[in-house]
Chains A and B, each alone.
Chain A
Amino acid sequence: MKFSYYLLKKMVPGIPDKKKLADVLSVKSFEVEEVKADAMEIKIMPNRWSDAASHWGMAREAAAATGRKLSFAPKIIVNQPQNKGFLEQIKIEDPKLCPRYMAYYLELPKIGQSPVWMRKTLQTCGLRPVNAVVDILNYVMIETGQPLHAFDASKIKGGIRVRRAKTNETIETIDNQKIKLDKSILVIADREKLLAIAGIKGGESSKVDSKTKTIVIESANFDPVSIYRASKTIKLATDASQRFGHGLSPELCKIGIDRAIVLLKEICKATFLDSKDVYPKRQPKKILKFDEEKLQSVLGADIDSKTVSIILKSLGFRLLPKNMIEVPALRLDINIIEDLIEEVGRMYDLNKIPGKNPAVLLAPPEMDEYFLAAEKAKNSLMEMGFSEVRNSSFIPAKADGDVEMENPLSDDKRFLRNSLVYHLRENVKTNHRFSGNVRIFEIGKVFLKGFKEEYHLAMAVSLKSGDYVFRELRGPAENLLRSLGLTDYAFVPEGSKLRLESDHEVLGYLFPDPKNKAAFLEIDFDKTRHLMEGEREYLEISPYPSIIRDISFTVPASVRMNLILEAIADLRIENLDDVDLIDYLNIADDRISLTLRLVFQSMKKTLSDEEANRSTAKIADILASDFKAEIR
């Protein structure tokens, strides 16, 4: 919200220069976002519109924050003309939605221009000067915070009614927009027509124009939720709707309208002839008990009671006997002792409170298992040359997710990802342009039907050559599983994919992507980490040497490796400790060449060459008989 430094200075003559004021306000009150010429852009917090969205309120903050005196106070008219017959009846249908409605009736000799100083101030605050009446009402709004509206009195037929709009009722606004209303929207009407959308915008039908001789000034208070919703429903936000939407005090109505009368008399030579004030239930006084001990406990600082009194008084609080504090009527945000503590703390300056080491019971901090497992996995993958990426949680409509956004940012962010592979594949493609081999992974949430979410882990390998890329993925994948402590798992072929299983559960899949010379793995990381075993246990190391035999052979290209390994396992050869594929080559279209390394080891004795040879021969036999292998 824009403020005029000049006007603030008029209200608090002693305040420091703009830059200095901006710094003080930023620390103690509100963030000052920009200072340009006379204008200060100040961010009013949503809970402070009732008192501080005005120069008067901001001046009070500035005075309290800098220890100066506020010299401005709007004049309250005591003996105004009342019920003189110029104004007809005012009826409020639902006082909950409109706690107060004031109307002042005035006669104007003519509507001219407002004075230069007023127009300048309005412009500083981002408002366009129109004519003296409109300008004065706008000026009073930025000065006191109360939105006001003027009707041409001659155009109101038979009193004013504050009621809900009827279904499909329409109104033409002052700026000639036709707006369709519904029953949730509050309007100001007379016997025949709509005069205004309550708290949002005036209507064309009762507009003040060059022929206007008598006006009715409205100063009302509306229920914030009702105005907030109405403004959303009809998609029309105005200065007034913003203010009412945040909630204002009905006590402000009279302050604002009386200030307007002073200016209208002075500038327009208006004659104040009549007034009405419908205010069935006065805003109750708010009195809180101040508790110094609580203040010290919450802030953790000793602030003496004299300082506390000075601060509270400077903000308009009244100090009553027995530690009772009366809250200013406009401070709708102050309801509990903590709110008072904040007022004292910020004006005292939170920076002056020294930090204090908290007393805590020593206990080892807990760490959610996810973070432990993720750290393990990430470090393991990093050691194997994989780099970590983080991708968007959103995927395009065409990627076919399970959870859709009600309000997507764009069509290519319509769904939440149900797999990490979509973006990982994009990463592979873009990185290929800059680097040869790509090894990446991501751990993150995916979102599934039924509004479920799971952590997944995905890996991608893509090689410039593209040869045997699947093995380049599977090896590290198995290392990863082992480093996570998963000891018992199996890869089961399923079409063009390999299914990863453990403990009768499917953990995920590995699959090649020949088009991108890539291979991917995606696993349910939550499920996987729950299968992790605890601490590892020492296994005895054989004191006897091992014997190694490499066996090279060719088989038809259609033979699948998992079947060979299963066949060897089925032989149940004693002392066969490990079988590893150490070489793999396509030698012709229809044949592949393989080398298996067999490791023999016994816990009981040194194995003889003959034993190793016998076992190797057994394996060679089964390769030849079951897989048409030619041993080389």
Chain B
Amino acid sequence: MNKDIDTIQSEAAEAINRAKTSEEVEAIRVRYLGRKEGLLNNVLKSLKDLPLEEKRRIGPLAQQARKEIEEAIDFKLKSLVEFEIPEEDITLPGKRSETGHLHPLTKTENEILRIFTSLNFSVIDGPELESEYYNFDVLNIPADHPAREMWDTFWIKQDKKPKNSKDHYLLRTHTSPMQVRYMETHEPPFQIIVPGRTFRYEALDASHEANFSQVEGLMVGKDVSFANFKFVIEQFLKSFFKGKKIEFRFRSSYFPFVEPGVEVDIKFKNSKWLEVMGAGMVHPRVFEFAGYNPRDWQGFAFGCGIERLAMIKYNIPDIRMFYNGDLRFIKQF
């Protein structure tokens, strides 16, 4: 009986050693350890006819053999899984599926919209072909004043001489015309942003495009203050440049439609100051043009170049890249 167990165990070890696939190993498991006809099981089954003394001696030996065979099988299976080569070459490079890409300015705009709507700002659209009236007059930028030279303007050719400045067309030089357009039809309190394309009569270079995009912001209420502006704009910029530590700088500046007027600069670790937007408290003249009583309302407005933000965020060196339709550029985003 002893000999039987030894023989079975050495046969099993040899078979396991020879096996090439996990299927073969499984077959060995059935042959030696199977519950019904397994060879080792048969030995154990035959124990019941032996005297008690024999049972006591052989039983543990058979259990020991079973354990050792099982261990050998498990070890073999593990080694087989590691070396078994599937029919399909799973190391081939992945097949490239063609995907579309949103323009980096759209991504930037989406991000701006997401942040401002989460701050409870509504999103408004406005015309690109504007009148002199909304682009300049109502923003306290009178005709024949050198202040207008801050905005180099594309004028539209008109067959008939315009009757007045409402009838005199230009390409909006900023998104600010929507301030009065919106206020003419809405009552405060409100807070809005207006993203859109704007135009400047400028020769093209790395930082100037004849058409570019801006986002305008306007918040009006009973006591909306400059401190509120600081809060909102710092929240916005922190969220937009997530994960970067930003310093802010508010510089006194001049735009005829705000008073006081400021420019906002930001600075990252190891960078220099970067100008990101012009802003200020809405000028009482603008409220008057919109039909509000300036004693009743107060608010802030800001305007910010979207390309500028995108160039800072994605480290893009040249504004013209946004508008040349080169997919090698667009597909990076």
Shortest beta-carbon distance, A385 to chain B, in Å? 5
Q: Are A341 and B327 interface neighbours, CB within 8 A? A: no
**B226 within 8 A of partner (CB):** yes
8 contacts between A and B (CB under 8 A): A225-B144, A365-B116, A367-B113, A382-B101, A394-B210, A406-B155, A409-B203, A435-B327
Do A388 and B100 contact each other (CB < 8 Å), given the known contacts A26-B251, A427-B325, A438-B327? yes
The docked-state distance in angstroms from the alpha carbon of A430 to that of B327 is: 9
Residues of chain B from 125 to 150 with CB closer than 8 A to chain A in the complex: 125, 127-129, 144-147, 149-150
Q: Are B226 and A453 interface neighbours, CB within 8 A? A: no
Looking at chain A's contact residues, the main secondary structure is mixed
Cβ contacts under 8 Å, B219 to chain A: 358
If A29-B252, A46-B146 are given as contacts, then 6 extra A-B residue pairs at C-beta distance below 8 Å, sorted by A number, are A242-B146, A338-B260, A339-B259, A368-B125, A388-B330, A447-B129
Number of interface residues of B (CB under 8 A): 81
Q: Are A378 and B102 interface neighbours, CB within 8 A? A: yes
Q: Are A430 and B325 interface neighbours, CB within 8 A? A: yes
**A203 within 8 A of partner (CB):** no
Q: Are B254 and A45 interface neighbours, CB within 8 A? A: yes
Set A46, A49, A370, A405: member contacting B149, Cβ < 8 A? A46
Set B98, B110, B234, B251: member contacting A437, Cβ < 8 A? B98
Cβ contacts under 8 Å, A300 to chain B: 225-228
**B197 within 8 A of partner (CB):** yes
Q: Are A368 and B98 interface neighbours, CB within 8 A? A: no
Set B117, B169, B197, B283: member contacting A365, Cβ < 8 A? B117
Q: Are A434 and B154 interface neighbours, CB within 8 A? A: no
Cβ contacts under 8 Å, A423 to chain B: 325
Shortest beta-carbon distance, B144 to chain A, in Å? 4
Residues of chain B from 221 to 250 with CB closer than 8 A to chain A in the complex: 221, 223-228, 230-232, 234, 248-250
Question: Which of A186-194, A348-356, A503-511 lies at the interface?
Answer: A348-356
Q: Look across to chain A and name the residue whose beta carbon is closest to the beta carbon of B124.
A: A368
Cβ contacts under 8 Å, A229 to chain B: 144
Cβ contacts under 8 Å, B292 to chain A: none
**A47 within 8 A of partner (CB):** yes
Cβ contacts under 8 Å, B155 to chain A: 405-407
Q: Are A342 and B252 interface neighbours, CB within 8 A? A: yes
Set A371, A381, A405, A444: member contacting B123, Cβ < 8 A? A371
Cβ contacts under 8 Å, B263 to chain A: 31
Cβ contacts under 8 Å, A378 to chain B: 102, 106
A-B contact count (CB 8 A): 238
Do A358 and B256 contact each other (CB < 8 Å), given the known contacts A228-B145, A435-B327? no
Do A228 and B157 contact each other (CB < 8 Å), given the known contacts A342-B259, A384-B100, A389-B330? no
Q: Look across to chain B and name the residue whose beta carbon is closest to the beta carbon of A455.
A: B125
Q: Are A381 and B128 interface neighbours, CB within 8 A? A: no
Q: Look across to chain B and name the residue whose beta carbon is closest to the beta carbon of A382.
A: B100
Q: Are B144 and A351 interface neighbours, CB within 8 A? A: no
Do A228 and B191 contact each other (CB < 8 Å), given the known contacts A300-B228, A378-B106, A431-B327? no
Q: Are A345 and B100 interface neighbours, CB within 8 A? A: no
Cβ contacts under 8 Å, B253 to chain A: 31, 45
Shortest beta-carbon distance, B17 to chain A, in Å? 53
Residues of chain A from 528 to 544 with CB closer than 8 A to chain B in the complex: none
Q: Are B325 and A431 interface neighbours, CB within 8 A? A: yes
**A403 within 8 A of partner (CB):** yes
Shortest beta-carbon distance, A360 to chain B, in Å? 6
Cβ contacts under 8 Å, B289 to chain A: none
Shortest beta-carbon distance, A304 to chain B, in Å? 16
Cβ contacts under 8 Å, B158 to chain A: 406
Q: Look across to chain A and name the residue whose beta carbon is closest to the beta carbon of B222.
A: A297
The docked-state distance in angstroms from the alpha carbon of A439 to that of B99 is: 10
Q: Are B327 and A434 interface neighbours, CB within 8 A? A: yes
Chain B 291-316, CB-CB to A under 8 Å as 1, else 0, gives 00000001000000000000000000
Q: Are A409 and B210 interface neighbours, CB within 8 A? A: yes
Cβ contacts under 8 Å, A365 to chain B: 116-117, 120-123
Q: Are A342 and B325 interface neighbours, CB within 8 A? A: no
Set B149, B157, B199: member contacting A393, Cβ < 8 A? B199
Cβ contacts under 8 Å, B205 to chain A: none
Q: Look across to chain A and name the residue whose beta carbon is closest to the beta carbon of B154.
A: A405
Q: Look across to chain B and name the residue whose beta carbon is closest to the beta carbon of A339.
A: B259
Set A301, A338, A386: member contacting B100, Cβ < 8 A? A386
Q: Are A406 and B157 interface neighbours, CB within 8 A? A: yes
Q: Look across to chain A and name the residue whose beta carbon is closest to the beta carbon of B225.
A: A300
Residues of chain A from 483 to 521 with CB closer than 8 A to chain B in the complex: none
Cβ contacts under 8 Å, B277 to chain A: none
Cβ contacts under 8 Å, B145 to chain A: 46, 224-225, 228
Q: Look across to chain B and name the residue whose beta carbon is closest to the beta carbon of A370.
A: B125
The docked-state distance in angstroms from the alpha carbon of A595 to that of B231 is: 64
Cβ contacts under 8 Å, B324 to chain A: 430
**B281 within 8 A of partner (CB):** yes
The docked-state distance in angstroms from the alpha carbon of A444 to that of B100 is: 18
The docked-state distance in angstroms from the alpha carbon of A228 to that of B145 is: 7
The docked-state distance in angstroms from the alpha carbon of A405 to that of B249 is: 39
Q: Are B328 and A434 interface neighbours, CB within 8 A? A: yes
Cβ contacts under 8 Å, B226 to chain A: 298-301, 345, 350, 353
- Please list the 9 inter-chain residue pairs (A to B) with the smallest Cβ-Cβ separation, ordered nearest first: A300-B227, A300-B225, A342-B260, A427-B325, A355-B231, A45-B254, A346-B252, A355-B230, A382-B100
**A119 within 8 A of partner (CB):** no
**B211 within 8 A of partner (CB):** yes
Do A394 and B203 contact each other (CB < 8 Å), given the known contacts A353-B226, A453-B129? no
The docked-state distance in angstroms from the alpha carbon of A46 to that of B330 is: 40
The docked-state distance in angstroms from the alpha carbon of A361 to that of B256 is: 30
**A399 within 8 A of partner (CB):** no
**B331 within 8 A of partner (CB):** yes
Q: Look across to chain A and name the residue whose beta carbon is closest to the beta carbon of B260.
A: A342
The docked-state distance in angstroms from the alpha carbon of A345 to that of B106 is: 37
**B218 within 8 A of partner (CB):** no
Q: Look across to chain B and name the residue whose beta carbon is closest to the beta carbon of A232.
A: B144
Set B144, B156, B262: member contacting A228, Cβ < 8 A? B144
The docked-state distance in angstroms from the alpha carbon of A45 to that of B226 is: 21
Chain A 46-81, CB-CB to B under 8 Å as 1, else 0, gives 111100000000000000000000000000000000
**B268 within 8 A of partner (CB):** no
Q: Are A360 and B197 interface neighbours, CB within 8 A? A: no
The docked-state distance in angstroms from the alpha carbon of A430 to that of B321 is: 14
Q: Are A451 and B156 interface neighbours, CB within 8 A? A: yes
**A161 within 8 A of partner (CB):** no
The docked-state distance in angstroms from the alpha carbon of A598 to that of B104 is: 43
Cβ contacts under 8 Å, A37 to chain B: none
Q: Are A453 and B225 interface neighbours, CB within 8 A? A: no
Q: Look across to chain B and name the residue whose beta carbon is closest to the beta carbon of A358.
A: B228
The docked-state distance in angstroms from the alpha carbon of A16 to that of B284 is: 37
Cβ contacts under 8 Å, A164 to chain B: none
Q: Are B227 and A353 interface neighbours, CB within 8 A? A: yes
Shortest beta-carbon distance, B195 to chain A, in Å? 8
The docked-state distance in angstroms from the alpha carbon of A466 to that of B199 is: 37
**A566 within 8 A of partner (CB):** no
**A246 within 8 A of partner (CB):** yes
Q: Are B326 and A297 interface neighbours, CB within 8 A? A: no
Do A358 and B221 contact each other (CB < 8 Å), given the known contacts A342-B260, A378-B102? yes
Q: Are A356 and B327 interface neighbours, CB within 8 A? A: no
Cβ contacts under 8 Å, B122 to chain A: 365-367
Chain A 227-248, CB-CB to B under 8 Å as 1, else 0, gives 0110000000000001001100
Do A338 and B98 contact each other (CB < 8 Å), given the known contacts A387-B330, A389-B325, A423-B325? no
Q: Are A360 and B120 interface neighbours, CB within 8 A? A: yes
Set B117, B156, B227: member contacting A299, Cβ < 8 A? B227
Cβ contacts under 8 Å, B34 to chain A: none
Set B101, B124, B125: member contacting A388, Cβ < 8 A? B101
**A336 within 8 A of partner (CB):** yes
Shortest beta-carbon distance, B83 to chain A, in Å? 40
The docked-state distance in angstroms from the alpha carbon of A245 to that of B324 is: 40
Shortest beta-carbon distance, B38 to chain A, in Å? 47
Shortest beta-carbon distance, A349 to chain B, in Å? 9
**A561 within 8 A of partner (CB):** no
**A440 within 8 A of partner (CB):** yes
Q: Are B197 and A354 interface neighbours, CB within 8 A? A: no
